[in-house]
Amino acid sequence: MRKDDLYITVPSFFRCPISLDVMKSPVSLCTGVTYDRASIQRWLDGGNNTCPATMQILQNKDFIPNRTLQRLIEIWSDSVRRRASVESAELAAPTRDEIADAIDRVKVEKEERFDREVLAKILRFARESDDNRGFLAGKDDFVRLLVDLMSQIDFKTTSAAKLLIVQEAVKILSMIQSKISDRRRFSNLVLNNGRDRLTTIVYFYKTGNVELKIDCAGLLEFIAVDSESKVSIAERDCLVVELMKSISRDSDSSLIEATLSCLIAISSPRRVKLNLIREKLIKDLTKLLTDPTTASVSVTEKCLKLLESLASTKEGRSEICGGDGECLKTVVMKLMKVSTAATEHAVTVLWSVSYLFKEEKALEAVTSTNGVTKILLLLQSNCSPAVRRMLTDLLKVFKVNSRSCLSAYDTKTTHIMPF
């Protein structure tokens, strides 16, 4: 049986052997087998003179009410209804007044009132709507209370119950972060208030389940507001190594996307870029781009955006063009195949390594993958002025006369699909 989201296991002896439903009026035949009165009556009215369960011939067709069984069924049914009522009440989203009252009590009594039940209630409230999330984010003292929960945790001695409470706080902060108006102030609250809250987020990213990892990645992305915060995040407790583990082909697709977004957010400082390159991020990005099970539109866009960022360093360009040029060949393959954003990132990578810094291996890789033809086709598409300028620069590197080649392609191509 199922009632909404409540699954109920029915004792087998409560079921009628004929209808298999819970008996409303259990009666026993002379054979000792009990049936629901309505079901056995239909059986006998059909001209049958045997017991359906045993197939014995009935000496008589009298019914004996099974009062004991009926009482047990009634007791069991009442308990199921009560449990369903309690669970429905627990699952129902609390009202704004109830949440405001809970927060006020927490402010007065501080951490003693912060148990999982209160935070779970607030989390259900936040999940209901944007308005609810905005309401919570607008209560600055509440946000500060949640952040303070992440302070001064000794992961060797803190109880499991306390860690679960802090996890709930992290989930709530992740859910309402987009409604926090002053992002820099929130970042300073986490990073620069004399208490080590960042270590708590990193710890939960390392040890949590997929859902908690995604929440932590989102928070890390949100507090990465400037170079100082980005370096602080990237260099904390071997976080980069953990982030790299989460973008393997065996990871959850949502976790891969959240982790890539986090890497993009922290990757702009040169120190961070060099760290990511040393950890072989470019090799991992290439694997993601070439694996059909992971290369969704969003993942492809994020991978190419990261490659664009890493291509701004000499070390990054060397890795992108290194080996047999697999990474750069993969970038060329993504031209015009995914989305406008992916194409723009791919063109920028090609422009950086081929035109801006004139890497010889880049020229070979682009030529071997029919890249010049794709560049010409892109010039005929509805690309942005910035992309058009980069494409024109690339044609100069390959010593192609764009006007004459475009004229030749125009005569051969009747229609170019937009990318």
Phi-psi group of 296: left, alpha or beta (phi > 0 → left; psi -120 to 50 → alpha; rest → beta): beta
C-beta of residue 341 within 8 angstroms of C-beta of residue 303: no
**Nearest to residue 113, comparing CAs of 144, 149, 89, 87?**
149
pLDDT at 350: 92
Place of tokens 């990892």: 213
The Cα–Cα gap between 115 and 118 comes to: 6
- Three-state DSSP class for residue 385: helix
DSSP labels, 223-268: H--SHHHHHHHHTSTTHHHHHHHTTSTTS-HHHHHHHHHHHHHH--
Taking residues 38-47, what's their average pLDDT? Answer: 90
The Cα–Cα gap between 167 and 118 comes to: 13
If one compares 194 and 393, the residue with the highest pLDDT of the two is: 393
pLDDT at 89: 55
CB neighbours of 293 closer than 8 A, spacing ≥ 6?
Answer: 249
Q: What angle do CA 322, 328, 329 make, to 5 degrees?
A: 115
Neighbouring C-beta atoms of residue 367, cutoff 10 Å: 12
The Cα–Cα gap between 318 and 214 comes to: 32
Taking residues 19-40, what's their average pLDDT? Answer: 91
Q: Domain residue spans in the chain? A: 12-91, 299-399
Q: What angle do CA 247, 253, 254 make, to 5 degrees?
A: 100
Taking residues 22-47, what's their average pLDDT? Answer: 91
pLDDT at 249: 74
pLDDT at 28: 92
pLDDT at 109: 58
pLDDT band at 403 (very low <50, low <70, confident <90, very high): very low
- Three-state DSSP class for residue 128: helix
Neighbouring C-beta atoms of residue 220, cutoff 10 Å: 29
Residue 15 is given by DSSP the state B
The string over 262-300, giving b where at least 16 C-beta atoms fall within 10 Å of a residue's C-beta and e elsewhere, is bbbbbbebeebbebbbeeebbebbbbbbbeeebbeebbb
* Sheet of 34-36, strands arranged across: 34-36, 26-28, 64-65
Give yes or no for residue 406 having a pLDDT over 70: no
pLDDT band at 195 (very low <50, low <70, confident <90, very high): low
Estimate the crossing angle of helix 281-290 against helix 270-278, to 10 degrees.
70
Side-chain-side CA neighbours of 119 within 13 Å: the count stands at 25
Supply the Cα-derived Rg of the chain in whole angstroms.
33
- Three-state DSSP class for residue 153: coil
pLDDT band at 7 (very low <50, low <70, confident <90, very high): low
pLDDT band at 128 (very low <50, low <70, confident <90, very high): confident
The Cα–Cα gap between 87 and 77 comes to: 15
What pLDDT, in 10s, does the model give residues 86-105?
665 555 668 888 888 878 77
pLDDT at 409: 43
Neighbouring C-beta atoms of residue 21, cutoff 10 Å: 14
Taking residues 352-369, what's their average pLDDT? Answer: 84
12-91 classified as CATH 3.30.40.10: yes
The Cα–Cα gap between 62 and 166 comes to: 65
Taking residues 380-408, what's their average pLDDT? Answer: 75
pLDDT at 92: 63
If one compares 341 and 9, the residue with the highest pLDDT of the two is: 341
The tokens for 163 are 């860690």
- Three-state DSSP class for residue 22: strand
Share the mean pLDDT of the chain. Answer: 85
The string over 334-365, giving b where at least 16 C-beta atoms fall within 10 Å of a residue's C-beta and e elsewhere, is bbbebbbebbbbbbbbbbbbbbeeebebbbeb
The Cα–Cα gap between 151 and 325 comes to: 47
What pLDDT, in 10s, does the model give residues 282-340?
999 999 999 888 778 999 999 999 999 999 999 999 899 887 888 999 999 888 778 88
The Cα–Cα gap between 264 and 374 comes to: 27
Which helix (H) or strand (E) is 7 found in, with range?
strand 6-7
Q: Is 412 buried (19+), middle (13-18) or exposed (0-12) by CB count in 10 A?
A: exposed
Taking residues 7-21, what's their average pLDDT? Answer: 84
pLDDT at 81: 81
The domain 299-399 is classified under which CATH number: 1.10.1040.50, 2.40.10.330, 2.70.160.11, 1.25.10.10?
Answer: 1.25.10.10
- Three-state DSSP class for residue 198: helix
- Three-state DSSP class for residue 382: coil
pLDDT band at 1 (very low <50, low <70, confident <90, very high): very low
What pLDDT, in 10s, does the model give residues 56-76?
999 898 899 999 999 999 988
Residue 26 is given by DSSP the state E
